[in-house]
Amino acid sequence: MTNLRNSSAVVLRTSRAASLLRLSRPQQWHKAVMLFAAPVAAGVIDQPHALLRATVAAAAFILLSVGIYAFNDVRDAPDDRRHPRKQHRPVASGAVSPMVALVWGCAGVVAGLTIAGSLGIPTFLIGFGYLAVQFAYVFGLKHIAVVDVVAVALGFVLRAAAGGTATGVAVSNWFLLVSLFGALFLVAGKRRAERSSTTSDARSRPVLAAYSASWLDQLTTVALLGTVLSYGLWAFQYLGDDVIRQLLTVSFLPFLTGLLRYGLLVSTGRGELPEHEIFRDRVLLLAGLLWAVLVGAGLYLA
């Protein structure tokens, strides 16, 4: 009898831990790669000190995002229960109680801010700003057309900026513009895919009704143009340098190809899960790999 009770307790703890992990959305943690962007672009990520601080900063922002996801799922649980996919989220399904989710979220926020603070006041302030923007999004901005898109994109920019402050790297204006427009491009594609999805998606995200397909197409075009021009101005500043540095200029071609290819996928209704599309499309994957090789060689072999 004792063994049975012990086994049941272990199963319960395992199930609860699995539910808390799902609540933390590990499939979204890849967004923390933006914390490495600034030191990579500055050519210092191969230095152990910079790599360590960027990794710590990434961990801090993952913990902050865990807190945000927990509060978001508690806030959205009534709507999620009417959605065919989101109804399986831990809070909406009842696997995690709202109180446990809130405690879990607070723990993530406190831990994230503490770690960010260990990297210096600028990183702490950016982390606090990121938290403020995302909480504002969860509790209201997500229901305001246009503002919701900008708020999501701003989250990527703040991550990129935090990677710079954490490693002591000066972040260029072009870098921030590429981050902003690139994020807007992804968000526009996501909104377009969500809008063309089932009616239950529209009920769980009412703001979609405010967006027309033509406006989302305009946003996608503007974001694509801004990303291409910003990256081009950064890359072509190396034209005329030594041969290795000019690989950064050459990287513009696969960068443009990748963006255009992704734009094509978005136009066909794909784009709700950008991280999936990148690895599912061979042309997009090949363009991304070639771009990474050219940029890596141009920055670290020169």
**Tell me: the pLDDT tens digits for 267-290?**
887 767 777 777 788 899 999 999
Residue type, 214: S
> What is d(CA 62, CA 56) in angstroms, rounded to the nearest whole number?
10
pLDDT at 2: 53
pLDDT at 5 over 80: no
> What is d(CA 130, CA 154) in angstroms, rounded to the nearest whole number?
8
Averaged pLDDT, 168-183: 90
Q: Which two tokens stand for residue 152?
A: 């999501």
State pTM to two decimals.
Answer: 0.86
Distance of CA 167 to CAs 33, 35, 41, 109, 148, Å? 14, 10, 12, 22, 30
Q: Which helix (H) or strand (E) holds 81?
A: none
* 204 — pLDDT class (breaks 50, 70, 90): low
* 100-146 pLDDT per residue, tens: 999 999 999 999 999 999 999 999 999 999 999 999 999 988 889 89
pLDDT at 68 over 60: yes
Cβ(298)–Cβ(251) under 8 Å?
Answer: yes
* 173 — pLDDT class (breaks 50, 70, 90): confident
pLDDT at 200: 46
> What is d(CA 190, CA 188) in angstroms, rounded to the nearest whole number?
5
Q: Which residue has the tokens 């995690």?
A: 96
CATH superfamily of 27-171: UbiA prenyltransferase (1.10.357.140)
